[in-house]
Amino acid sequence: MSQNSAARTVAAPDHGKLDVQSLVLLAVLLAAGFILNFTVGKAISGISGGLISPEFIISAFCLTILVVRPNVGQALVIGLISAAVIQITTTSPFIDFAAEGVAAVLMALIVRAGMKSPAKKAIPLIGSFVTTVVSGVIFMLIKIAMVGAAGELAAAMLPVVLLTGVFNAVLVQALYLPIRKALKLAD
C-alpha cells in the first residue's frame, strides 16, 4: 500500500463522535431524505387524505448512525435533529420528536450490538427496518391517542409503516457500503 493511499483511508470514522464530518454527513443525508419526503411522502399523504405521511428521513439518520456509530445520547441528538427537519413537511407537528428520538436510540443500540456479530453485513437492513417500524408504530400510537379512530388509523397506517420499513431497509442496505467507500472509512 502506498503512503498516499494510506493517508486517504480513515482508520475509524471517529465512532461515537459527532464531529464536523459527522454533522455534514447528517446534513447531506437529511437533505436527501427531505427531498424524498417532500416528493414521494407528500404524494402518499395526498392520496391518503393526509392520514399517512411516510418519513424517508429515517433512512438518512439510520445511515448516519451506521457510519458514525454514536453513543446513545448522540443518537438521541441525531433523532431530534431529524425530527426538527421533518417538522417542515409533517401534517402532525411534534409527534416525530418522540418517534425519531426513540428510533435513533434504538438504531444506535442495534448497530452497537450487531456490528460486533457475525451477521454484521445484515445490520443496515435489519436495523433500518426495525427502526422504521418502531418509529412508525410510535407515531401511529400517538396519532391514535390524539385523534381517536384507532381501528381506522391502524388499518390505514400499519401497512404503510411496514412498506416504508421495507423501503428504508433496502435503501439503507444499498447505500451503506457506497457511502463508507466514498468516505474512505475502514471498520
Q: Does the pLDDT of residue 181 top 80, yes or no?
A: yes
**20, 39, 44, 99 alpha-carbon torsion, rounded to 10°:** 10
pLDDT interval class at 184 (50, 70, 90): confident
- Domains along the sequence of the chain with CATH: 3-182 (1.10.1760)
What pLDDT does residue 20 have?
87
What pLDDT does residue 6 have?
44
- How far is Cα 44 from Cα 48, in angstroms, rounded to an integer? 6
Of residues 175, 66, 157, 61, the one with CA closest to residue 110: 66
Q: Are 58 and 82 in contact (CB under 8 A)?
A: yes
Q: Does the pLDDT of residue 15 top 90, yes or no?
A: no
**Residues facing residue 185 across a β-bridge:** 10
- Grid look-up 441525531 returns 78
pLDDT in tens, 115-140: 888 999 999 999 999 999 999 999 99
Give the HSE-up count for residue 177: Cα atoms under 13 Å, Cβ half-sphere: 8
Rg of the chain's alpha carbons, rounded to an integer? 17
Q: Are 104 and 30 in contact (CB under 8 A)?
A: no
